Amino acid sequence: MVQNDKKKKKKREGSDAVITLDRVSKSYSSGSPALDNVSLTIKKGEFVFIVGDSGSGKSTLIKLLLRELTPTSGRVIVNGADVARLKRRQVPKFRRNLGIVFQDFRLLNDRNVYENVAFAQRVIQMPTKLMRKNVPNALAEVGLAGKYKAKTKQLSGGEQQRVALARALVNEPPILLADEPTGNLDPKNSWEIMKLLERINEERGTTILVVTHNREIVNEMKKRVITMKKGVVISDEEKGGYIDED
Ligand SMILES: Nc1ncnc2c1ncn2[C@@H]1O[C@H](COP(=O)(O)OP(=O)(O)OP(=O)(O)O)[C@@H](O)[C@H]1O
Protein backbone atom coordinates (compact mmCIF):
# COMPACT_ATOMS: atom_id res chain seq x y z
CA MET A 1 0.00 0.00 0.00
CA VAL A 2 1.39 3.42 -0.89
CA GLN A 3 1.99 5.90 1.88
CA ASN A 4 -0.90 8.17 0.87
CA ASP A 5 -3.48 5.38 0.97
CA LYS A 6 -2.19 4.37 4.36
CA LYS A 7 -2.71 7.89 5.68
CA LYS A 8 -6.24 8.09 4.28
CA LYS A 9 -7.11 4.73 5.77
CA LYS A 10 -5.79 5.75 9.16
CA LYS A 11 -7.89 8.91 9.02
CA ARG A 12 -11.04 6.93 8.26
CA GLU A 13 -10.46 4.72 11.24
CA GLY A 14 -9.94 7.75 13.49
CA SER A 15 -6.31 8.78 13.66
CA ASP A 16 -6.14 8.41 17.43
CA ALA A 17 -7.56 4.87 17.47
CA VAL A 18 -4.92 2.47 18.69
CA ILE A 19 -7.18 -0.61 18.74
CA THR A 20 -10.15 -1.16 16.45
CA LEU A 21 -12.38 -4.20 16.26
CA ASP A 22 -14.61 -4.00 13.22
CA ARG A 23 -17.47 -6.52 13.31
CA VAL A 24 -15.24 -9.23 14.72
CA SER A 25 -16.49 -12.76 15.23
CA LYS A 26 -14.49 -15.70 16.44
CA SER A 27 -15.79 -19.25 16.49
CA TYR A 28 -13.96 -22.25 17.79
CA SER A 29 -14.76 -25.59 16.24
CA SER A 30 -17.75 -26.27 18.46
CA GLY A 31 -20.54 -24.27 20.06
CA SER A 32 -21.70 -20.68 19.72
CA PRO A 33 -19.16 -18.00 18.78
CA ALA A 34 -16.76 -16.82 21.50
CA LEU A 35 -17.02 -13.34 19.98
CA ASP A 36 -20.08 -12.37 17.99
CA ASN A 37 -19.87 -9.31 15.75
CA VAL A 38 -17.94 -7.12 18.19
CA SER A 39 -17.03 -3.58 17.16
CA LEU A 40 -15.13 -1.21 19.41
CA THR A 41 -12.48 1.47 19.31
CA ILE A 42 -9.87 2.25 21.91
CA LYS A 43 -8.03 5.51 21.59
CA LYS A 44 -4.43 6.26 22.29
CA GLY A 45 -3.91 6.92 25.98
CA GLU A 46 -7.15 5.36 27.21
CA PHE A 47 -7.40 3.20 30.33
CA VAL A 48 -10.05 0.52 29.83
CA PHE A 49 -11.39 -2.29 31.98
CA ILE A 50 -12.80 -5.35 30.23
CA VAL A 51 -15.17 -7.27 32.47
CA GLY A 52 -17.65 -10.09 32.09
CA ASP A 53 -18.56 -13.53 33.35
CA SER A 54 -16.39 -16.52 32.74
CA GLY A 55 -16.73 -17.58 29.12
CA SER A 56 -17.88 -14.15 27.90
CA GLY A 57 -14.98 -13.84 25.43
CA LYS A 58 -12.39 -11.69 27.24
CA SER A 59 -9.44 -14.05 26.71
CA THR A 60 -10.44 -14.57 23.10
CA LEU A 61 -10.35 -10.81 22.63
CA ILE A 62 -6.86 -10.56 24.15
CA LYS A 63 -5.62 -13.45 21.97
CA LEU A 64 -6.93 -11.72 18.86
CA LEU A 65 -5.06 -8.54 19.79
CA LEU A 66 -1.85 -10.51 20.27
CA ARG A 67 -2.38 -12.46 17.05
CA GLU A 68 -2.42 -15.70 18.95
CA LEU A 69 -5.73 -16.17 17.12
CA THR A 70 -7.18 -14.68 13.96
CA PRO A 71 -10.85 -13.71 13.61
CA THR A 72 -13.34 -15.91 11.77
CA SER A 73 -14.69 -12.68 10.28
CA GLY A 74 -14.15 -8.95 10.70
CA ARG A 75 -10.96 -6.98 11.21
CA VAL A 76 -8.71 -6.39 14.20
CA ILE A 77 -6.49 -3.32 13.82
CA VAL A 78 -3.73 -2.72 16.38
CA ASN A 79 -1.55 0.35 16.08
CA GLY A 80 -2.33 0.62 12.37
CA ALA A 81 -1.73 -3.06 11.58
CA ASP A 82 -4.50 -5.32 10.28
CA VAL A 83 -3.53 -8.16 12.57
CA ALA A 84 -4.85 -11.08 10.50
CA ARG A 85 -2.93 -9.91 7.45
CA LEU A 86 0.46 -9.96 9.11
CA LYS A 87 2.86 -12.50 7.71
CA ARG A 88 4.23 -14.99 10.18
CA ARG A 89 7.65 -13.35 10.08
CA GLN A 90 6.10 -9.95 10.89
CA VAL A 91 4.42 -11.19 14.07
CA PRO A 92 7.36 -10.89 16.52
CA LYS A 93 7.93 -7.26 15.56
CA PHE A 94 4.19 -6.56 15.69
CA ARG A 95 4.03 -7.96 19.24
CA ARG A 96 6.48 -5.31 20.41
CA ASN A 97 3.48 -2.98 20.33
CA LEU A 98 2.01 -4.89 23.25
CA GLY A 99 3.38 -5.27 26.74
CA ILE A 100 1.54 -7.96 28.66
CA VAL A 101 1.15 -9.04 32.26
CA PHE A 102 -0.68 -12.14 33.44
CA GLN A 103 -2.38 -13.29 36.61
CA ASP A 104 0.39 -15.83 37.29
CA PHE A 105 3.32 -13.40 36.64
CA ARG A 106 5.18 -15.84 34.33
CA LEU A 107 8.65 -14.87 35.52
CA LEU A 108 11.84 -16.86 34.99
CA ASN A 109 12.15 -18.22 38.49
CA ASP A 110 15.75 -19.34 38.22
CA ARG A 111 16.87 -15.79 37.32
CA ASN A 112 17.11 -12.67 39.38
CA VAL A 113 14.93 -9.59 39.06
CA TYR A 114 17.39 -7.74 36.81
CA GLU A 115 17.69 -10.68 34.42
CA ASN A 116 13.93 -11.06 34.14
CA VAL A 117 13.57 -7.50 32.92
CA ALA A 118 16.76 -7.57 30.84
CA PHE A 119 15.41 -10.63 29.04
CA ALA A 120 12.81 -8.49 27.25
CA GLN A 121 15.54 -6.12 26.10
CA ARG A 122 17.76 -8.95 24.90
CA VAL A 123 14.93 -10.28 22.75
CA ILE A 124 14.85 -7.01 20.82
CA GLN A 125 18.66 -6.86 20.78
CA MET A 126 18.92 -3.68 22.78
CA PRO A 127 22.58 -2.66 22.97
CA THR A 128 24.06 -3.56 26.37
CA LYS A 129 24.91 0.02 27.18
CA LEU A 130 21.31 1.14 26.79
CA MET A 131 20.00 -1.96 28.54
CA ARG A 132 22.05 -1.06 31.59
CA LYS A 133 20.16 2.21 31.77
CA ASN A 134 16.71 0.98 30.75
CA VAL A 135 16.44 -1.97 33.14
CA PRO A 136 17.21 0.00 36.33
CA ASN A 137 14.87 2.76 35.12
CA ALA A 138 12.03 0.29 34.63
CA LEU A 139 12.69 -1.27 38.03
CA ALA A 140 12.76 2.16 39.67
CA GLU A 141 9.44 2.98 38.03
CA VAL A 142 7.78 0.03 39.78
CA GLY A 143 9.57 0.71 43.07
CA LEU A 144 11.99 -2.23 42.93
CA ALA A 145 15.32 -0.54 42.24
CA GLY A 146 16.81 -2.00 45.41
CA LYS A 147 15.80 -5.59 44.66
CA TYR A 148 17.50 -6.11 41.34
CA LYS A 149 19.65 -8.97 42.60
CA ALA A 150 16.87 -10.91 44.34
CA LYS A 151 15.68 -14.22 42.93
CA THR A 152 12.07 -13.84 41.91
CA LYS A 153 10.88 -16.70 44.11
CA GLN A 154 12.13 -14.77 47.15
CA LEU A 155 9.68 -11.96 46.38
CA SER A 156 6.11 -11.46 47.52
CA GLY A 157 3.31 -11.83 44.98
CA GLY A 158 2.94 -8.06 44.70
CA GLU A 159 6.66 -7.66 44.07
CA GLN A 160 6.62 -10.42 41.47
CA GLN A 161 3.81 -8.69 39.62
CA ARG A 162 5.81 -5.45 39.73
CA VAL A 163 8.77 -7.25 38.13
CA ALA A 164 6.40 -8.54 35.44
CA LEU A 165 5.18 -5.00 34.93
CA ALA A 166 8.74 -3.66 34.60
CA ARG A 167 9.45 -6.40 32.05
CA ALA A 168 6.29 -5.51 30.11
CA LEU A 169 7.20 -1.82 30.05
CA VAL A 170 10.96 -1.81 29.55
CA ASN A 171 10.65 -1.80 25.75
CA GLU A 172 8.17 1.08 25.97
CA PRO A 173 5.23 -0.51 24.14
CA PRO A 174 2.37 1.86 23.20
CA ILE A 175 -0.17 -0.65 24.58
CA LEU A 176 -0.20 -2.62 27.81
CA LEU A 177 -2.54 -5.61 28.21
CA ALA A 178 -3.10 -6.86 31.73
CA ASP A 179 -4.97 -10.17 31.98
CA GLU A 180 -6.31 -10.52 35.55
CA PRO A 181 -3.20 -8.79 36.95
CA THR A 182 -4.54 -8.83 40.51
CA GLY A 183 -6.06 -12.32 40.43
CA ASN A 184 -3.36 -13.73 42.74
CA LEU A 185 -2.90 -10.69 44.96
CA ASP A 186 -4.38 -9.51 48.25
CA PRO A 187 -6.34 -6.23 48.26
CA LYS A 188 -3.38 -4.06 49.32
CA ASN A 189 -1.08 -5.39 46.60
CA SER A 190 -3.92 -5.28 44.10
CA TRP A 191 -4.36 -1.59 44.72
CA GLU A 192 -0.63 -0.96 44.44
CA ILE A 193 -0.56 -2.60 41.01
CA MET A 194 -3.63 -0.68 39.88
CA LYS A 195 -2.20 2.64 41.07
CA LEU A 196 1.01 1.85 39.19
CA LEU A 197 -0.96 1.11 36.03
CA GLU A 198 -2.84 4.36 36.46
CA ARG A 199 0.39 6.31 36.90
CA ILE A 200 1.98 4.69 33.83
CA ASN A 201 -1.12 5.54 31.83
CA GLU A 202 -1.06 9.16 32.97
CA GLU A 203 2.68 9.78 32.81
CA ARG A 204 3.70 7.78 29.75
CA GLY A 205 0.40 7.93 27.88
CA THR A 206 0.47 4.14 27.46
CA THR A 207 -2.90 2.74 26.38
CA ILE A 208 -3.94 0.22 29.02
CA LEU A 209 -6.46 -2.63 28.85
CA VAL A 210 -7.15 -4.52 32.03
CA VAL A 211 -9.21 -7.71 32.06
CA THR A 212 -10.46 -8.22 35.59
CA HIS A 213 -13.08 -9.69 37.89
CA ASN A 214 -12.14 -7.26 40.65
CA ARG A 215 -15.38 -5.45 41.21
CA GLU A 216 -14.13 -3.10 43.95
CA ILE A 217 -11.25 -1.82 41.84
CA VAL A 218 -13.40 -1.32 38.76
CA ASN A 219 -16.01 0.56 40.78
CA GLU A 220 -13.49 2.80 42.53
CA MET A 221 -11.30 3.74 39.59
CA LYS A 222 -13.99 5.29 37.40
CA LYS A 223 -12.41 4.35 34.10
CA ARG A 224 -14.01 3.22 30.86
CA VAL A 225 -15.60 -0.19 31.42
CA ILE A 226 -16.48 -2.56 28.58
CA THR A 227 -18.74 -5.38 29.75
CA MET A 228 -19.00 -8.57 27.74
CA LYS A 229 -21.54 -11.36 27.89
CA LYS A 230 -21.69 -14.46 25.72
CA GLY A 231 -19.41 -12.95 23.09
CA VAL A 232 -21.05 -9.55 22.76
CA VAL A 233 -20.40 -6.14 24.31
CA ILE A 234 -23.43 -5.45 26.48
CA SER A 235 -22.21 -2.16 27.89
CA ASP A 236 -19.43 0.35 27.24
CA GLU A 237 -19.33 3.23 29.71
CA GLU A 238 -16.97 6.10 30.36
CA LYS A 239 -16.31 6.24 34.11
CA GLY A 240 -18.27 3.03 34.41
CA GLY A 241 -18.74 0.42 37.08
CA TYR A 242 -19.04 -3.33 37.45
CA ILE A 243 -22.41 -4.49 36.23
CA ASP A 244 -24.06 -6.96 38.56
CA GLU A 245 -25.96 -9.56 36.62
CA ASP A 246 -27.04 -11.66 39.56
N1 LIG B 1 -9.57 -23.22 22.48
C2 LIG B 1 -10.91 -23.24 22.57
N3 LIG B 1 -11.64 -24.19 21.94
C4 LIG B 1 -12.99 -24.21 22.02
N5 LIG B 1 -13.72 -23.30 22.71
C6 LIG B 1 -13.05 -22.34 23.35
C7 LIG B 1 -11.61 -22.24 23.33
N8 LIG B 1 -11.23 -21.18 24.07
C9 LIG B 1 -12.37 -20.62 24.53
N10 LIG B 1 -13.45 -21.30 24.12
C11 LIG B 1 -14.87 -20.96 24.40
O12 LIG B 1 -15.11 -19.64 23.98
C13 LIG B 1 -15.93 -18.94 24.91
C14 LIG B 1 -15.20 -17.69 25.41
O15 LIG B 1 -14.07 -18.09 26.17
P16 LIG B 1 -12.98 -17.04 26.76
O17 LIG B 1 -11.88 -17.86 27.29
O18 LIG B 1 -12.68 -16.04 25.72
O19 LIG B 1 -13.83 -16.39 27.93
P20 LIG B 1 -13.34 -15.45 29.16
O21 LIG B 1 -14.31 -14.34 29.23
O22 LIG B 1 -11.92 -15.10 28.97
O23 LIG B 1 -13.50 -16.40 30.42
P24 LIG B 1 -12.68 -16.41 31.82
O25 LIG B 1 -13.15 -15.22 32.58
O26 LIG B 1 -13.11 -17.69 32.45
O27 LIG B 1 -11.22 -16.39 31.48
C28 LIG B 1 -16.28 -19.93 25.99
O29 LIG B 1 -17.51 -20.50 25.69
C30 LIG B 1 -15.17 -20.98 25.88
O31 LIG B 1 -15.61 -22.24 26.29
Kindly report the CATH number assigned to the domain that includes residue 129: 3.40.50.300
Minimal-distance CA residue to ligand 1 atom 26: 54
pLDDT at 30: 80
pTM of this structure:
0.92
* pLDDT of res. 51: 97
The CA 41 to ligand 1 mean position distance, Å, reads 22
Residue 8: inside a domain, yes or no? no
| In-domain check, residue 13 | no
**What residue numbers bound the domain in which 117 lies?**
44-71+87-237
Q: So what's the pLDDT on residue 5?
A: 58
Look at residue 29 in the predicted model and tell me its pLDDT.
87
Whether 223 is in a domain gets the answer yes
Query: Does residue 28 form part of some domain?
Result: no
Nearest-atom number in ligand 1 for the CA of 52 is 21
Task: Give per-10-residue mean pLDDT for the chain (246 aa).
Answer: 53 74 94 95 98 95 96 97 96 95 94 96 95 97 95 94 97 97 95 96 97 95 97 95 76
Q: How many domains does the chain have?
A: 1
Lining ligand 1 with CB less than 6 A are: 28, 34, 52, 54-60
DSSP 230: T
Question: Rounded CA gap, 117 and 201, in Å?
Answer: 20
pLDDT value for 49? 98
Residue 246: what pLDDT? 56
